[in-house]
Amino acid sequence: MSAVLFFIAAIGAIAGAIGVVTLRNPFYSVLALVVHLICLAVLFLLLRAEFVAAAQVVVYAGAVMVLYVFVVAYVGGGEQMLGGAVLRVLGPLFALALAIELCIAMLGSALKGVSGKGAPYVSGFGTPAHIGTLFLTKYLFPFEVASILLLVAAVGAVVLARRRRGLEEPDEQFELRIRAPRPAYTGTMAEAAGTRIAETVPEPERVGDVSTHEGGW
Amino acid sequence: MAIGWYLSVSAIIFCIGSAGVLTHRNPLVILLCLELMLNAANLALVAFSRMWGGEDGQVFALIVMVVAACEVTVGLGLIVAIYRRRMPIDVDELNELQG
Amino acid sequence: MAVTTFGWLILLCPLIGTTVIALLFKRLPGRSAGWIATTAIGLSFAFSIATLFALLSHSPDHRQFTSSLWDYDVSVGVDAKLSILVDPLSVFMALVVSGVSTLIHLYSVSYMTSDRGDSRYFAYLNYFVLSMLLLILAGNFMLLIVGWAFVGAASYLLISFWYRRTTATRAGLKAFVINVVGDVGLVLGTFFIFKHTGSVDFVKTFHEAPQVFTHNGTDITVACLLLLVGAFAKSAQVPLHTWLPDAMEGPTPVSALIHAATMVTAGVYLIARMHPLFEQSPTAADVGAIGGCLTLLIAATVGLVVTDIKRVIAYSTMSQIGYMIMGVSVGAYSAGLFHLMTHAFFKALLFMGAGSIIGAMAGNQSLDRMGGFRKALPFTFAAFVIGGLALSGLPPFSGWLSKDDIIAFLDNRGGGFLILGIAGYVGALLTAIYTFRMIFRAFFGDPVPEAVELEHGHLAHADVPTNPMTGEEEDTDVGFPGPGHFIAEREFPMKIAMGTLMILAVIAGVLQIPGVDDVVTKFLDPTFADSKFAGVEPSTGSAWLGLVIGAAIAVAGIAIAYRIWVVAPGTSTRVRERVPAVYRFLSNKWYFDELIDFLIVRPTLWFGRFTQNVLERVVISGAVTDGTTGLVRAGSAAVRRAQTGFLRYYAAVMVVCISGVALYFLISAT
């Protein structure tokens, strides 16, 4: 029974993968990936990894793919041309070579570490309780680091995608901030790189000082 | 099923993903293929975790999922920013970071 | 007060003088810099006299005092302290130096009146006197070398004093470079001596020398020869003499002080001070004597043909120093030093007179343009005559007694030294001729326009300031040389200075009349008591014989000069036309400049250019620096080509490499 389910899920996953790669419309690729993810979740269930399967469906297929859908809708994409002449042929070839190597490695008798059925089943294997315990004891540090990574990614995404002032067309500029005038050549890098024109400060009138002004340092 | 089957499925999906990365020009699709490769790795990890009997592999797979989520977030943010600057969404055109 | 306290005070006065003038010159009112300087040196002279009396109050056996202020470098094997040695020799030299310096400072006060650089001048001049006194009073080799180097620096500063003149700066450089050659010799000689005696202190070295060195051995000879190099460079002896005539570019009082009376006598002092070492190495002493002899002859012959009045006196200095070097090399210490003293007097006097007549000529120094100044400049004429007679060695002037003292000693030693003595007489003849050539040409004959103007009471001024040597117009907007010209007849300080020297030039001879008294010898006896030649003196009879011969030669020389230049003017031109080759040889100064240029200057320049073009440009810049950077740049350019900017290319590379690694593991696992 599990064998049949395995084959169905495996074929579904591979079909989804092929769909991602070959479909022209990026929207369809996203949908193919969702199919692939669901099949992968079934495979995880077959491997008794309940929590991972649930997370896969909820987080991956549920959140990440939805994000993808939104972005694809925004950006669009239209017809996708496949890559440059050389890599269009060579790419799949490299991948094929890699696949063959890996399969030989796996299925050949060379690898001794891959043994038959697996370890005997311990009750509670793969449950959230066990995973949670591991996260909070043995893998506490990776857990914390992962949360910081999520924070960083969130901040990064906001920073990347916000509207940047001064780089849009003038009609979109929001003239709120104070542009403090700086004397010429008192240098920001922006000025040196030419993206900002320096404004010269008019010299305050000095009463009684008739010496010629010598600019610069 | 023997572990080997799961591992071969993982290998096949991985290579399909890499073929996709090498051939597509749209960065969105490349990211999708990258997701494929990450998932293949997850499958391998969970399979080994089942083989050894400890849940360490599953914890690893979960962390991989977190990383993938972050990476997708930032990558899509980049693509959105590129789109906003009205630059072509084509990795062959975006080649200014070169020696 | 103790003897050595006075010694330190002698050094302190010019030090204070130069510091005050150098630091405060902007605040000093008017021309007071000159008076401050003169007072400082005058005080130094007063302290020298005080030191003399303090020294004399001790018995003759105990007249050597050292005093050390602090340890300079006292460590393993070295014992360099800041110490002075006060003994008869140093007091004698200090008296001469400070005395003549005071008079020259007084003269300079008038001479530099209209010059805007006068504070700088007096600061330098005081610095020079300080260095000379330091050299003289030094109690060990280290301080001697310090004084030696300082004197060279002061000479450079003062020769190129009017630094807007290219000729002056070039002359200053030449003097300094040749002095540096001498410095190297001196320092190397010191190292040689130190290597064997283990001490830089004079007293200790002289004590050790007889034990440590073998008589006339290689070590001591080499050391003394190196010291001689130093002495020859400083005293302008052949072959290191070419700087002295050029040094006349400096103001005339500078020529008087440095290049007549004091600095050039440093070499004589050195040999006299190092006499225990030189007596240990007769070879080196003979080299010194022969060098001195050659110089006195060569310089005298050149003095016969040069036309610049200051250069005539310069060659005469060279010649007379040759006498002194000859004297102290063969053992006539007191005679040589006595001649040093009298020479200081009459040579400074001659230079001062030259300054006066140049002032009357509005800056022009050429004898060809001078003539008949007898009525216009009576005081200067008197100065020249007295100085000239003293130089030629006419009785009873001082030069007669001092010069023949040396020659008598040489004759007394006999053997090869007799030849040197005869050469000395020949030199004396030439001396008389060229000295009176100068006097007759400048003061006798028809008065030139400047002289006529002056007789009517009007001092001539040139329309445009010109360089006396090249005649080119020069820019005096900077304020120097000053526009004023000064003659002794109108300036009181000049008159005092020259008058004092005139009196001294006449009467100084009484100090050492053979058979009557020998003040100088007796005074210097404690220093030279350990010399082999301490008691060796010509008998009174032979000394008087020598004096008579000397007098006869002087009279003959003056008569010849009188004949050629006064009685039958035009004789010299006819003689010159008869032997043009000889004339050319002499007027080109025996081609020494050209020789040195060929032997040393050109190869050095060639070497410099060679290192610049080949070593510097090709090897170091080209191969080493540019080569390395080029290599690195090429390497990085090659590596950079892997960064194409194409994402998929990077991905493809990664996939291929991973496949490769996997393949490797596969294969290694089978």
Contacts of residue C379, defined as CB under 8 A and 6 or more positions apart, other chains included, come to C356, C488, C489, C495, C498
* Choice between C152 and C74, residue whose per-residue pLDDT is larger: C152
Residues 62-91 of B with CB under 8 A from A: 62-63, 65-74, 76-81, 83-85, 89
- Find chain A residues with C-beta within 8 A of B50's C-beta: 47-49, 118-119
Dist CA C129 CA C125 (whole Å): 6
Dist CA B64 CA C662 (whole Å): 22
pLDDT-derived band at C42 (thresholds 50, 70, 90) equals very high
Dist CA A93 CA A120 (whole Å): 40
Query: Could you tell me which chains touch chain C, where touching means 3 or more CB pairs under 8 A?
Result: A, B
CA distances from B2 to A2, A117, A119 (A): 11, 5, 11
Nearest CA distance, A177 vs chain B (angstrom) = 22
Strand C65-75 with C78-86, pairing = antiparallel
Of A148-152, C53-57, C70-74, the poorest mean pLDDT is in: C70-74
pLDDT-derived band at A187 (thresholds 50, 70, 90) equals low
The terminus-to-terminus CA distance of chain C in angstroms comes to: 105
Write down the pLDDT at residue A171. 47
- Find chain C residues with C-beta within 8 A of B91's C-beta: 646-648
* Choice between C340 and C583, residue whose per-residue pLDDT is larger: C340
pLDDT-derived band at B10 (thresholds 50, 70, 90) equals very high
Write down the pLDDT at residue C644. 83
Of A66-70, A174-178, C25-29, the poorest mean pLDDT is in: A174-178
Is C327's pLDDT higher than 80?
yes
Is A87's pLDDT higher than 80?
no
With CA atoms as reference, the chain C residue closest to A86 would be C649
Write down the pLDDT at residue A179. 55
- Find chain A residues with C-beta within 8 A of C665's C-beta: 105
Q: For chain C, say whether A105 makes contact (Cβ under 8 Å).
A: yes
Q: For chain A, say whether C623 makes contact (Cβ under 8 Å).
A: no
Of C1-10, C119-128, C458-467, C483-492, the poorest mean pLDDT is in: C458-467
Write down the pLDDT at residue A111. 52
Is A38's pLDDT higher than 80?
yes
Phi-psi region of C549 (alpha: psi -120 to 50; beta: other; left: phi over 0): alpha
Q: What is the pLDDT of residues A197-216, one digit of tens each?
A: 555 555 555 454 444 444 33
Write down the pLDDT at residue C5. 87
Write down the pLDDT at residue C27. 84
Q: What average pLDDT does chain A have?
A: 77
Which of A31, A162, A65 has the alpha carbon at shortest distance from B69? A65
* Backbone dihedral angles phi then psi of residue C589, each to the nearest 5 degrees: 55, 45
Q: What is the pLDDT of residues C508-557, one digit of tens each?
A: 888 878 777 778 888 888 888 777 777 777 778 888 888 888 889 889 99
Of B95-99, C101-105, C198-202, C300-304, the poorest mean pLDDT is in: B95-99
Amino acid, res. C530? D
Q: What is the pLDDT of residues C343-367, one digit of tens each?
A: 999 999 999 999 998 888 877 888 8
Q: Which residues pair with C423 in a beta bridge?
A: none
C670, A98: Cβ pair inside 8 Å? no
Which of C333, C329, C243, C342 has the alpha carbon at shortest distance from C284? C329
Which of A30, A64, A135, A151 is the best substitution to test chain B (most B C-beta atoms within 10 A)?
A64
Nearest CA distance, C478 vs chain A (angstrom) = 26
Contacts of residue C409, defined as CB under 8 A and 6 or more positions apart, other chains included, come to C327, C330, C331, C332, C335, C536, C537, C538
- Percent of chain C whose predicted confidence (pLDDT) is above 70: 98
Q: For chain A, say whether C653 makes contact (Cβ under 8 Å).
A: no
Which of C654, C655, C661, C667 is the best substitution to test chain A (most A C-beta atoms within 10 A)?
C655
B18, A95: Cβ pair inside 8 Å? yes
Q: For C600, what's the count of Cα atoms within 13 Å in the CB-facing half-sphere?
A: 11
Of A17-26, A62-71, B87-96, C511-520, the poorest mean pLDDT is in: C511-520
How many other CB atoms are there within 10 angstroms of residue C319's CB atom? 25
Model pTM score? 0.70
Dist CA C612 CA C606 (whole Å): 10
Torsion over CA: C231, C304, C380, C242 (sign): negative
Is C568's pLDDT higher than 80?
no
B30, C647: Cβ pair inside 8 Å? yes
Secondary structure (DSSP) of A111-131: --S--SS-SPPPTTTT-HHHH
Torsion over CA: C253, C257, C260, C263 (sign): negative
Write down the pLDDT at residue A115. 57
Nearest CA distance, A72 vs chain B (angstrom) = 8
Neighbour-count burial for C192-229, b at 16+ CB within 10 Å, e otherwise: bbbebbebbbbeebbebbeebbeeeeebbbbbbbbbbb
Mean pLDDT over residues C196-204, rounded? 86
B8, A106: Cβ pair inside 8 Å? yes
Mean pLDDT over residues C653-662, rounded? 91
Establish whether this prediction's ipTM goes over 0.90: yes
- Percent of chain C whose predicted confidence (pLDDT) is above 90: 34
Tokens 């010649």 map to which residue? Answer: C319
Secondary structure (DSSP) of C229-283: HHHHHHTT-TTS-THHHHGGGS-HHHHHIIIIISGGGHHHHHHHHTHHHHHH-HH
Q: For chain C, say whether B9 makes contact (Cβ under 8 Å).
A: no
Is B38's pLDDT higher than 70?
yes
B16, A87: Cβ pair inside 8 Å? no
Nearest CA distance, B60 vs chain A (angstrom) = 9
Q: What is the pLDDT of residues C78-100, one digit of tens each?
A: 888 888 999 899 999 999 999 99
Mean pLDDT over residues C457-481, rounded? 71
A110, C659: Cβ pair inside 8 Å? no
Secondary structure (DSSP) of C450-477: HHHHHHTT-----SS-B-TTT--B---T
Q: What is the pLDDT of residues C128-183, one digit of tens each?
A: 999 999 999 998 899 999 999 999 999 999 999 988 888 889 999 999 999 999 99
pLDDT-derived band at C290 (thresholds 50, 70, 90) equals very high
Is A156's pLDDT higher than 60?
yes
Nearest CA distance, A98 vs chain C (angstrom) = 5
- Find chain A residues with C-beta within 8 A of C659's C-beta: 94, 97-98, 101
Query: Could you tell me which chains touch chain B, where touching means 3 or more CB pairs under 8 A?
Result: A, C
Q: What is the pLDDT of residues C107-124, one digit of tens each?
A: 999 888 877 788 889 999
- Out of B21, B94, B99, closest to residue C651 by CB: B21
Write down the pLDDT at residue C156. 93
- Find chain B residues with C-beta within 8 A of C643's C-beta: 98-99
Is C658's pLDDT higher than 80?
yes
Q: Which residues pair with C80 in a beta bridge?
A: C73
Question: What six digits make up the tokens of C31?
Answer: 């021309």
Write down the pLDDT at residue A25. 87
Dist CA C255 CA C314 (whole Å): 8
H or E segment to which residue C67 belongs: strand C65-75
Q: For chain C, say whether A101 makes contact (Cβ under 8 Å).
A: yes
Which of A27, A40, A58 is the best substitution to test chain B (most B C-beta atoms within 10 A)?
A40
On whether the CB atoms of residues B39 and A36 are closer than 8 A, the answer is yes
B80, A134: Cβ pair inside 8 Å? no
Q: What is the pLDDT of residues C397-433, one digit of tens each?
A: 888 888 888 888 888 887 788 888 889 999 999 999 9
pLDDT-derived band at A42 (thresholds 50, 70, 90) equals very high
C662, A102: Cβ pair inside 8 Å? yes
Mean pLDDT over residues A71-87, rounded? 73
